[in-house]
Structure 1
Amino acid sequence: MRTNKMCAIMGNLTRFKELLPLTENRPIATLPFDCKYRLIDFNLSSIVNANINTVFMVFNDDETQSVFDHIGGGKEWNLDGVQNRFFINVYQDLLKQKAEHKAYYEKVIDYLKKSKSEYVVFMGSKMLCNIDLRAVLKIHQMQKNDMTVVYKRVGRDNIHPSDMLLEVAEDGKVISTHAAKESNLSEKNNLAMDIYILQTQALIEALSVGQNTNASVNLETFMRNMVVNVNSSCYEYTGYLSNIYDVDSYYKANMDMLDPKKFNSLLYSNQKIYTKLKNEVPTYYSDSSDVENSQFASGSII
């Protein structure tokens, strides 16, 4: 096992009826964003920028086509080599294994063992951000707790009832967690961003126990439950964040990119965002076009 090496798991199971029909045939992760990107680009880029070379992803079985169409062989994120690879698994297969009383987390455990990584990072799919995972790892190592949870202070308009809120002590430790739907929201709330770092061996042991005690098949739910069962501390993220769970929040996140401060915070920090390359002609602006404060993808006709 290589010291300081990280592997990654991405959970992409969240579904919101408020995002229909946009997500009728695709996960939130492959929704287009800011003309040329997909939401999954930001998680993948954070992973690549942290020198993580293997990723385990879980999707619903009817949503994988758009994922393969976008990621392809993984070349843009340097995930197309022998050592650098990504793995896509179907959530419903895990559910079937659980129904048949089989070890439903064995594929995840096998991935973690073969990664030979000291640490693992888990990332959800609906929090749009550009985070330096190496900085989170440093804090995790300094605090010497079992798990580090990434959170951001946000207003009530950036929270969905399904989200998890944190109560944080002055020393950065997690005191308790609360479901947003059961909480009295204040002006500012500690929103858990469903990004977690912990020791790989600790997660292997937790998954091994969990699948023998009827734990949730959903890895995001599993990680949330772990927060209160182990010694957990926090990392406060201060960059741009958009919590996407309905059409309004998705629209607002895109419109935020017309604000130079938010645009630069997300796309032009010290962390580059990678996406699928498209060989298209530049945007065409006719003599009669009237454009102000706008962004367009290549190939557009205005």
Structure 2
Amino acid sequence: MLSEYMGILSLNENTDNIKSLTKNRLIASIPIAGRYRIIDFTLSNLANSGIKNVGIFTQSKARSLIDHVSSGKPWDLNRKIDGLFVFNFGESNTNLKDIEMIRNNMEYLYRSKKKMVIISTSSMVCNIDYEAAAKFHEQSGKDVTIIYKKIVANNPCFKDCNVLNLSKDNTVIGVGKNITFSKQNANNDLTCEGSVNLSMDMFMLSKELLINLLNNCIKTGCWIDIKNCIYDNIMNLSTNAYEFKGYLAYINSVQSYYKANMDMLNLDINKDLFFSSGLIYTKVMDEPPTKHFSSSNVCNSLISNGCLIKGTVNNSVLSRRVSIEEGAEVSNCVIMQGCTIKSNAKLNNVIVDKNNVIEENTDLKGDTDFPLVIEKRSLY
């Protein structure tokens, strides 16, 4: 167990391509797989590795995040010593980058007795064994270890992500961007060739080195976020890479969010994501079981507790307290908490955010690459 490690989660993430789902929330608190939030995966990975000190650096639009993580009890982080710390959630300046956010709370690092740090984002959804990665890092004797995954080149779900240029011994010698483009073969079919080493923006380093990097960033003003500071100093730091081989989804767009939910309907991916290196924990809501009426027809779907199903649900993900009335048809959809799909409504390739009511005889249809999004409805 990683008793000498602490976790730092930077939630200063790019929301340009997912604004319809982040209007009133952070990426970290978007519901996923019915009963989970995106941040659950990162917190569970840290907790499963025995890390008991986790700091979350966020800013505005954090109400739903604070409500969800609370004291950290689902991840065994509600402790008198160490535990879960959330910083800057009341910050009015939404342009703050993580260097400034951590600078305002440097006492957190100085007071901690932990010697090592894992820095991560919340938008990389996976089930990773940090113990194995930490062992690799410690045995290498390097300053920094970056966790990466080999992916097919040009994968649009990982557009603009950082990619690593590695030597034969897995030393990082350069960092670039994943450029997505399509190439036509002789038959004019679109193809993707080769693979790239996608950085998961997860770093392992000593707390002393992190403090030195932060002080250098503050002193020079050359960097505004810690990951770019590390990437730009690759030549000055001894840096290697640890390969992750499990399932990975990067939630940075509506398309990638939709695909991740649909992927979870695949049994092999579901087992890998929720059970491979430990369980994924979330806030317990104590809802009653879902009720399937005699008129219901459900196939290959994730249905959370508290739902009422009278219509047809196929290849879809339903959050808690969703009502599907008789005659309604829901296919290839993500329906979030508290929604009602009324009689004879037909939905295909649609993401319905919380508290929406889809009226009778409504016909909504999106595309697998560009799903239709119905934004969150305010309760008032």
Which of residues 230, 233, 254 is equivalent to 2:261?
254
Residue 113 of structure 2 is matched in structure 1 by 116
One-letter identity of the residue aligned with 1:249: S
Which of residues 146, 150, 153 is equivalent to 1:149?
146
Residue 241 of structure 2 is matched in structure 1 by 234
Q: 2-side partners of 1:31 and 1:42: how far apart? A: 12
Q: 1-side partners of 2:24 and 2:220: how far apart? A: 33
**Aligned-residue offset at 1:274:** 0.9
Which of residues 84, 87, 93 is equivalent to 2:85?
87
Which 5+ residue runs of structure 2 have no aligned equivalent? 183-191, 310-380
> Are the counterparts in 2 of residues 10 and 123 from structure 1 also a CA contact under 8 Å?
yes
Q: How does 1:18-33 map to 2 (within 5 A)?
A: 18-33=17-32
Asked if residue 211 in structure 1 is aligned to residue 218 in structure 2, the reply is yes
What SS is found at the alignment partner of 1:239?
A: coil
Residue 133 of structure 1 is matched in structure 2 by 130
Which of residues 265, 283, 296 is equivalent to 1:276?
283
Q: 2-side partners of 1:288 and 1:7: how far apart? A: 51
**Aligned-residue offset at 1:158:** 4.9
Aligned length: 297
Residue 339 of structure 2 is matched in structure 1 by none
Query: For residues 125 and 98 of structure 1, do their structure 2 counterparts lie closer, same or farther at Cα, with a shift above 3 Å needed?
Result: closer
Residue 76 of structure 1 is matched in structure 2 by 74
One-letter identity of the residue aligned with 1:74: G
Residue 180 of structure 1 is matched in structure 2 by 178
**Aligned-residue offset at 1:91:** 8.1
Q: 2-side partners of 1:140 and 1:122: how far apart? A: 14
> Are the counterparts in 2 of residues 73 and 80 from structure 1 also a CA contact under 8 Å?
yes
Larger deviation: 21-30 or 174-183? 174-183
Query: For residues 36 and 212 of structure 1, do their structure 2 counterparts lie closer, same or farther at Cα, with a shift above 3 Å needed?
Result: same
Which 5+ residue runs of structure 1 have no aligned equivalent? none
> Are the counterparts in 1 of residues 213 and 229 from structure 2 also a CA contact under 8 Å?
no
**Aligned-residue offset at 1:182:** 9.5
Residue 47 of structure 1 is matched in structure 2 by 46
Q: 2-side partners of 1:94 and 1:6: how far apart? A: 31
> Are the counterparts in 2 of residues 11 and 220 from structure 1 also a CA contact under 8 Å?
no
TM-score (norm 1): 0.90
Q: 2-side partners of 1:300 and 1:106: how far apart? A: 45
Query: For residues 21 and 231 of structure 1, do their structure 2 counterparts lie closer, same or farther at Cα, with a shift above 3 Å needed?
Result: same
Higher relative contact order (CA 8 A, sep 6+): 1
Larger deviation: 256-265 or 84-93? 84-93
**Aligned-residue offset at 1:84:** 3.3
One-letter identity of the residue aligned with 2:78: D
**Aligned-residue offset at 1:92:** 9.1
> Are the counterparts in 2 of residues 283 and 297 from structure 1 also a CA contact under 8 Å?
yes
Q: 2-side partners of 1:248 and 1:139: how far apart? A: 34
For the pair shown, the structure with the greater C-alpha radius of gyration is 2
Query: For residues 77 and 91 of structure 1, do their structure 2 counterparts lie closer, same or farther at Cα, with a shift above 3 Å needed?
Result: closer
What SS is found at the alignment partner of 1:17?
A: coil
- Percent of paired sites with the same residue: 31
* Stretches (4+) displaced over 4 A: 91-99, 181-186
Query: For residues 191 and 108 of structure 1, do their structure 2 counterparts lie closer, same or farther at Cα, with a shift above 3 Å needed?
Result: farther
CA shift digits 1:11-57 (9 cap, x unpaired): 11113232121111111111111111111000000111111111111
One-letter identity of the residue aligned with 2:56: M
Asked if residue 225 in structure 1 is aligned to residue 213 in structure 2, the reply is no
